[in-house]
Every structure is written in structure tokens, then in C-alpha cells.
Amino acid sequence: MAETLKYSEINKIPCLTWNWLKMNRASLEVEAASEIISEKKEITASKKGEIVSLPLVFEDGKRYEHEQVITAEENAEITVILDYTSDRKAGGFSSVKTKLVAKPYSKIHLVKVQLLGENYVQIDDTEGVCDDGAKIEVTQIELGGSKVYAQVKNELNGYESKFKSDTAYITENGQILDMNYLVNHHGAKSDTKMIVKGVVGDSALKTYRGTIDFKRGCTDATGDEQEETLLMSRTAINKSIPMILCDEENVAGTHGATLGRLGADELFYMQSRGISEDEAKAMMKKAKVLSTASLIPDESVRTKIENFLE
């Protein structure tokens, strides 16, 4: 039996824009199997240099709920790799929740690699908290699925706490990718760096919301967000809201967004060297993803990404 699931406020931004843009939030109605396959894991790191791989296998027609709680104790460092994999033609529904707790002077590097089947719908929610001197890094690769809603939120509570994210995606063949990144600065001298880059092709729809919010008391905090989008089709739709909110005077925040197409000059240059237009487009798509994938400290996962791109 299938159950109709309704979500009215996914990826809601903290400060509303004009409603006619239809970017304040996302909504979703999906039919999913009533039987739920759920799993919860708790990982605690107490030393430096730990690497944990958590491959999540998704079967066709199934409904999944995965939850992870990752804690780095004081001065500890850990890398956790979440690999979402299914057959290329598989479909189903997936809900993933990940909580990150970085205690004083610790570091968490979370890697999420989404290679789901072309009929999968997924809601992926990541929330992190950083204490004094702590750092959270998120490396995210979004390639599969039919409709994917990914949210990353982080609270920089501590003095000199840091957040860094690197996200790469390819959205094409009618895919919907909806992303929401939010970092709240509470601690003095806290720092954020967010980089998002990818390709939107065919009749795909990609939405990106990126917010850096300087709360009162976060004096000397800094934040920067940059987005690079390559449009591969005239029917592709790209929506972006880079936003900086400020309730503290002595802070520095910057953001930028670049939107472009593969130009005639670039194509001519490549074709003059024996590279066809299709090959040139494939090379550009791969380059966007593989530059971010190089940050993943696991060769087998990087190879899996390359194979998926082929």
C-alpha cells in the first residue's frame, strides 16, 4: 500500500522574499510505501584521524528513514562518509537526518555522496553545532534522484568556530534539486565559507538558497558564499538567493553568484582540437564535480563518482 506524504515547508529561508518568486520554501507531495525501513546510528570520535564510511543502500520501491548523530569530543577529529547508492533505474522515498556536534577544538568532516536512482525522491537534512575553536566541514555531491531537497544548517556558537561547505551537482533530464544552506553566527570571530558549483541542463530545475546570518554578539565574524552555475540548455531553470543578514556591526560578509553558458568561443576552441560539442559539455560537467570530489579522502568513493558520471 502506498501512502501520500505531504510536506508544506521544506528548505524555508529565515527571511522571506517576494512570494511571486516562489523561493521562500519548497513543498512536496509524494506517494511512498507505507512500510518504513528505519535505521539510527550514533558515532562518537575521541581521537584524531578517524575515518568512518557509512554506505546506505536503497532498494527499488522502498521507503527509508536514516538518522545519524555524529559527535566529536574535545580536540578530536573525524571524517564520516555517507554514500547513498541504488540501481540507476530504482525509485522510492528517502528521508535522511544528520546531526553534527563539534565540541571545543574538534573537527568534523562530513561527506555526502548522493547517487540514487532516477526515480528516487529524497529529503536530506543536516544540522550542526560548533563550540569554541571547533570546525565543521561538509562536502556534498548531488548527482542522482528525481527530486532532491537538501538542507544544511549550522550554528557557530563558539569563539573562533568555523563552518566550510563545498557542494557540487549535476541536474538534468527533468530533475529537481532544491538546496538550502544556513549558517547562524553567534560566536565572536566565527567564520563561514560556502562554495556551490554545478550544471543545470535539459529541462531541470535547480534552486539554491544560501544565508549567512550574523547574530548580535558575533563581533569580528566573517562569512563568504560563492556560487558558480553552468547552464547547458535554454529550457533549464536556475533560481538562486544568496543572502546575508546582519544584527552586529563589526562583521564582514561577502557573496557572489556566477551564471553562464558554454560559449561559442570555448566550443570552437575545443572543436578545433578534435573535441566534439557533446564531448566538450561532458568534460565541463565532470570538471565541476570532480574538483569538489577531490576533497573526499577515499579513493573508492571518488572512483564511484567518476563511474556514475560516465
Check if the beta carbon of residue 84 is closer than 8 Å to that of residue 115.
yes
Q: How confident is the model at residue 275 (pLDDT cuts 50, 70, 90)?
A: confident
pLDDT digits (tens, 9 = 90+) for 216-266: 999 999 999 999 999 998 899 999 999 999 999 999 999 988 888 776 667
**pLDDT given at position 264:** 64
pLDDT digits (tens, 9 = 90+) for 19-72: 888 899 999 999 999 999 999 999 999 999 999 999 998 999 999 999 999 999
Q: Looking at residue 21, what DSSP letter applies?
A: G
**Average pLDDT of 119-147?**
98
Q: Pairing between strand 107-115 and 135-142?
A: parallel
Q: How confident is the model at residue 301 (pLDDT cuts 50, 70, 90)?
A: very high
Give the three cell numbers for residue 168. 557540487
**pLDDT given at position 278:** 80
Type and span of the H or E element at 81: strand 77-85
User: What values do phi and psi take at 113, rounded to 5?
Assistant: -120, 110
**Average pLDDT of 130-149?**
98
pLDDT surpassing 70 at residue 135: yes
Check if the beta carbon of residue 240 is closer than 8 Å to that of residue 257.
yes
**pLDDT given at position 268:** 63
Tally of CA atoms within 13 A in the half-sphere of 108 that contains its CB: 33
Q: Give the CA radius of gyration of the chain.
A: 19
**pLDDT given at position 282:** 84
pLDDT surpassing 80 at residue 95: yes
Type and span of the H or E element at 63: strand 62-72
**pLDDT given at position 102:** 98
